[in-house]
Amino acid sequence: MRLSALPTRYLVVAVVAVVAALLVAATGASVAVSDPRDAPSNTDPPVRVYVSETLDISNAELTGGGTVGTDQTTFVSVDGDEVFTVNPETADFDGVAPGSYDADSDDDNRADLLVVQPRITEFDVRNERGVDIAGDTVDGNDFEEVRLTAEYNFAEADYLEVTVETPDGLDLAGNRRITTSGGQLTIDTSGADPGTYRISVEGSNIEAGAASTTVTVAGETETATARPTPTERPATATPTATARPTPTATARPTATDRPATATPTDAPTATPSPTTTTTGDGAGFGLVAALGALAGAALVARRGD
């Protein structure tokens, strides 16, 4: 049957279906990925891989013929500035610079791999009323739930893990995930305690594809300002200790005055007594002894004559 023989309405439906299929193939927006891929589905060169991705590229086709294979392979950027070597069955592209790369195992200079920087092109965080609250401080009543929307360029290869982390480190998302680019997810946050909540999305295998923001829930700030009050109590007890040394210091000087009065009175009274007696007795005795000696000498001289 020729297409021209079909009713117009059927032709329109057919055209719309083809266009939709082409859009899906081009963007991958409606492709749901329940698990991160372990090998590229399209092996035609250049095979598209993502920075930080780990996967099996052994079946990737080479522009010079054949496949990458299982032997360790070195890839050189087409412009010659970057080089990296991988085990093809567990190729790790963490830290590899984005760009086109040629495998040195074939005989040409054409790109066999295209290393792409994973990006989350849109990350939207709104409350139940549809208000964008990313990076804002909100009242608890405006944080009953959060609606997350994310668009990303690696939907063909991985999904996004969602985290809504409370100030205490709990995850309210409960291992929820966004599996399609442009997908939306709603997280119940009712009864949220005051504090800052970190909301993030990140690729499960492609960890370089990530985005995050925070939402702060206002709370009882008065409680925090009232806490310094107990620190004032020790200050009122300090003056009591300064009053105690006062009577102790005035009592001690009274005892030190008494020995000072007795000391000078006794010393001069005892000193003159032995001096007078000793001097008088010594002078008289010496004079008598001298006269006796002279008289004795005179008597001896006369007897000799």
Per-residue pLDDT tens digits for 7-21: 544 443 343 343 334
- Are 137 and 143 contacting, i.e. CB atoms less than 8 angstroms apart? no
Residue 262: predicted pLDDT: 40
Domains of the chain by range and CATH? Answer: 37-117 (no CATH), 120-223 (2.60.40)
**DSSP assignment string, the chain:** --GGGS-HHHHHHHHHHHHHHHHHHHH-TT---SS--SS-S--SSSEEEETT-EE--TTPBPTTSSB--SS-EEEEETTSS-EEEE-GGGEE-TTPPSEEEEETTSSS-S-SEEEE---EEEEEEEETT--B-TT-EE-GGG-SEEEEEEEETTTTT--EEEEEE-TTS-BSS-S-EE-STTEEEEEE-TTPPSEEEEEEEEESS-TT-EEEEEEEEP--HHHHHHTTGGGGHHHHHHHHHHHTHHHHHHHHHHHHTHHHHHHHHHHHHHTHHHHHHHHHHHHHHHHHHHHHHHHHHHHHHHHH-
Residue 276 has pLDDT above 70, yes or no: no
Q: 179-224: per-residue pLDDT in tens?
A: 999 999 999 999 999 999 999 999 999 999 999 999 999 986 444 4
Please give the pLDDT value at position 256: 42
- Percent of all residues in the chain with a pLDDT value above 70, rounded to a whole number: 62
Q: Tell me: pLDDT of 119 over 90.
A: yes
Predicted confidence (pLDDT) at residue 257 exceeds the cutoff of 50:
no
pLDDT digits (tens, 9 = 90+) for 69-117: 999 999 999 998 999 999 999 999 999 999 999 999 998 999 999 999 9
Region 153-159: mean pLDDT is 98
Average pLDDT (117-137) is 97
Q: Is residue 33 pLDDT above 60, yes or no?
A: yes
